[in-house]
Structure 1
Amino acid sequence: MTVILFDDQFRNNLLPISYTRPVSEIRVGILTIAEKWAHHFKTKPYYQTEEYLQDKYPYHSGESNLLINGSVCPDEELKEAIDRLGEGDALVAGEILIAVKLNEHGAKEFDLEHIDRFKKHELSGPLIKMSFPEDIFRYNGQEISKDYKVLTEGRTSAAISTTNTVLGDNIFLEEGANAECATFNTTQGPIYLGKNTQVWEGSHIRGAFALCEESIVKMGAKIYGMTTIGPYSKAAGEINNAVIFGNSAKGHEGYLGNSVIGEWCNIGADSNNSNMKNNYAEVRLWDYQKESFRKTGMQFCGLIMADHSKCGINTMFNTGTVVGVGANIFGAGFPRNFIPDFSWGGSHGFETYSLKKMFETAERVYERKKEVFGEIDKKILTKVFELSEKYRRF
């Protein structure tokens, strides 16, 4: 069975996070959505996504194919419902197509405009789906708990140093994970320390919490529950209900709350975001589809920052700020609540951050992690630069 994860009609609601990845490559919980499905079906999935992303995230179909909505997070009940599908059967939740089983010809002809030709079966249970960027931190605590069970069931944790204080017993360390003189409170949710991670002295961490492979929590950090630090990242200061995708750094003091930070991002020292308006009103976020601000229905909503964006020291982000791909923010005062992709500046004003300069920075960032900023990534970012041009109305 070939598993293909498709982007549905709500993909653009997840911009700018989805500009640089298929929706299934969003990290929520410990794993990306694609990694979750890979664990459930014991196979590497393929992707049906935007054409400019397919070189990096390839498509492949076989004789028998299972096409799954890449914005949907799996659980055992959902997997069992998918396993019961026959060829031509579709699992739906109202107007949302969750999965369909097709032969090779059907998979190649598949599109969301013709789902009425499938035999539909309604999902009876709950569904966790990423429809908007704020859903990533909204559901992160639940997804950490689900992923924790998947990753640790039947396994034994590596030993934790006796210099630490652990409340409860819901903690798991992978091989090479190291923590000293830290406090871990697992009474409100599990704590997962990935392979070769480090938690430095004086840190206080409450579950649910995930620290992914090769990442570091620096000295004296205060991290509240429903937080994920993705692989090859650094975390410090105060963090609450936030998701950092990976290869990013919030390595200094400052507050990050109810937020999503993409890959290859850097948060300058003593930078802060507000996660609640001082009049306690509902938070609105910039919506790329509507080209205006959208009500979130949430009182707590902080910073959404897409891949390759950076901010200088002491940057202040207002409640419900959206930062696009490849932006560079600096200077005193609060910048605007929507900072378009490839913007350079701050509250004093913005100009376009040229691809040439942005690429030069990216090459240096990749070199620091012994990675290569290659032609595929350059092509993706060039396309995003073109797609987002209309939002740069400086």
Structure 2
Amino acid sequence: MLYLYDDAGARRFEPFATSRPLSDMRVGALLQRQRWQHVLATASHGVISSPHLVGFAEFDAPAHHEGDVPAGAWLVNSRAVPFLQAAPVAARVLTIGDRVAAVRLAAPMPQERLHDPHFLLEDARPGTGAVGDIPGVWLDHVWDIVAHLQTALLADIPVLVGTLAARPLERADVTVLGSHGVFVADGVTVEPHVVFDTTAGPVLLCRGASVQAFSRIVGPCFVGEASAILGGRVSGCSIGDMCRVHGEVSATTFVGHSNKGHDGFVGHSVLGRWVNLSAGTTTSNLKNTYGMVSMWTPDGLTNTKQQFLGTLFGDHAKTGIGLRLTTGCVVGTGVNVYDSMPPKVVAPFSWGGSAPYAEFTVDKFVDMAERMMARRQIIMPDAARAWWRTIHRVATGDARWPRR
């Protein structure tokens, strides 16, 4: 049994923490819970995160856990990103570097301890038992999803090729450069005149993915199930399931079910689920001064110490035609912005052509979300409608977000 715990740091990973636990963020090729399921060879039974995320339900995601976590279960820090190798069988504690990433509980863990965001996994270490150090990285800041993307993809893809029984692509009408290889699962469609550049890393296309003619895909690159590359240059990206991607996209993560179906540059960015970027949406990922990028966090504007950093788009964020976004921009959950370049941070459920923005009312937001999901043959259940009303109330009342 596996339970994933969002500590105080994870609960401040905005704009994503507004509407999803970190266990359901894509880091490298996989969602965090999928990654830990692979490493521990066990199913996810629950998530412990912020109170407003009780009721989060998405595809096969485990429910928010209420009650004690039983003895014998694995309790995992969701900010820990292990590479995809089996954990030592005898280990009771797993570390990445010198930090505790996972603990196999010797006794039940009371729920009240885990509901305290300042609880440390180190406090749950058993008094005895083997410690196994496993390879991986840590997410100390939300932008580390971007910073560690290439490293994670290079570690993930070779393992997933075997897991998915993917085979090397062998086509005379497709050009493959480099030696790392292109691998395809069942049901993949690759049209003629596609170029795959595997000089820096492999490319993996999952079941039902498609690549249109005149696309250039540069590895390391992961394309999830039923996602479509519609032309342009896609370089060093992790693209989740059922996405549509076109244009120039670099070092960017798509959690899933998002659209960037037209021209426009998106680089060193993260798109939550159900994001739609209209034609010509362009992110800046490098300052004209070539200096380090600063980004808004709940603790204020922070020097990320990253030279390349684009935009973090929360779930259900939408942009208008030709929108330009500044370096290190944060676009909150449920935002719908167009026309003028937004400020460096746009609060959740903002709506309009220029700041100060109006509030995107909850009824209009839910109606829009339902219509977009229906285009993917996914019906929003009544429980989700009620949950989104809670998220809207919490997010619009959150004083940490600047509203101007």
Structure-1-length-normalised TM-score: 0.90
Aligned residue for 2:364? 357
Matches within 5 A, 1:340-355: 340-355=347-362
2:306 maps to 1:295:
no
- Paired with 1:25 and 1:173, the residues of 2 have a C-alpha distance of 25
Aligned residue for 1:32? 31
Amino acid corresponding to residue 145 of structure 1 in structure 2: L
In structure 2, the CA distance between the partners of 1:277 and 1:90, relative to structure 1 (3 Å rule), is closer
Question: Deviation at 1:150?
Answer: 2.1
Aligned residue for 2:228? 216
Aligned residue for 1:85? 91
Aligned residue for 2:183? 172
Question: Deviation at 1:36?
Answer: 1.2
Alpha-carbon contact 1:245-1:263 (below 8 Å) kept: yes
The alignment partner of 1:218 has SS state of strand
> What is the identity percentage for the equivalent residue pairs of Structure 1 and Structure 2?
26
- Paired with 2:169 and 2:181, the residues of 1 have a C-alpha distance of 13
- Paired with 1:231 and 1:356, the residues of 2 have a C-alpha distance of 27
- Paired with 1:269 and 1:92, the residues of 2 have a C-alpha distance of 41
Aligned residue for 1:205? 217
Amino acid corresponding to residue 259 of structure 1 in structure 2: S
Question: Deviation at 1:230?
Answer: 1.1
- Paired with 1:76 and 1:21, the residues of 2 have a C-alpha distance of 23
Matches within 5 A, 1:44-193: 44-46=43-45, 47-55=47-55, 56=57, 57-58=62-63, 59=65, 61-75=69-83, 79-80=87-88, 83-86=89-92, 91=95, 96-103=99-106, 105-106=108-109, 108=111, 110-111=113-114, 112=119, 115-116=122-123, 118-119=125-126, 127-153=136-162, 155-157=165-167, 159-167=169-177, 168-180=179-191, 181-193=193-205
In structure 2, runs of 5+ residues without a counterpart are none
Aligned residue for 1:195? 207
Question: Deviation at 1:218?
Answer: 0.4
Alpha-carbon contact 1:247-1:263 (below 8 Å) kept: yes
- Paired with 1:243 and 1:212, the residues of 2 have a C-alpha distance of 11
Matches within 5 A, 1:14-25: 14-25=13-24
Amino acid corresponding to residue 50 of structure 1 in structure 2: S
| 1:235 aligned residue (217, 223, 245) | 245
Alpha-carbon contact 1:210-1:229 (below 8 Å) kept: yes
- Paired with 2:28 and 2:95, the residues of 1 have a C-alpha distance of 24
Q: After superposition, what is the alpha-carbon deviation per residue over 1:137-156, rounded to whole angstroms, capped at 9, x for unaligned?
A: 21111212222122123745
In structure 2, the CA distance between the partners of 1:344 and 1:191, relative to structure 1 (3 Å rule), is same
More helix by share: 1
Amino acid corresponding to residue 270 of structure 1 in structure 2: G
In structure 2, the CA distance between the partners of 1:76 and 1:182, relative to structure 1 (3 Å rule), is closer
Question: Deviation at 1:77?
Answer: 7.0
- Paired with 1:128 and 1:361, the residues of 2 have a C-alpha distance of 37
- Paired with 1:215 and 1:156, the residues of 2 have a C-alpha distance of 16
- Paired with 2:176 and 2:363, the residues of 1 have a C-alpha distance of 49
In structure 2, the CA distance between the partners of 1:129 and 1:379, relative to structure 1 (3 Å rule), is farther
Alpha-carbon contact 2:325-2:341 (below 8 Å) kept: yes
Amino acid corresponding to residue 9 of structure 1 in structure 2: A
Alpha-carbon contact 2:249-2:267 (below 8 Å) kept: yes
- Mean CA deviation greater in 365-374 or 113-122: 113-122
Structure-2-length-normalised TM-score: 0.88
Aligned-CA RMSD value? 2.4
| 2:346 aligned residue (339, 347, 363) | 339
- Paired with 1:90 and 1:224, the residues of 2 have a C-alpha distance of 33
Matches within 5 A, 1:276-315: 276-288=286-298, 290=299, 292-315=300-323
In structure 1, runs of 5+ residues without a counterpart are none
Question: Deviation at 1:30?
Answer: 1.5
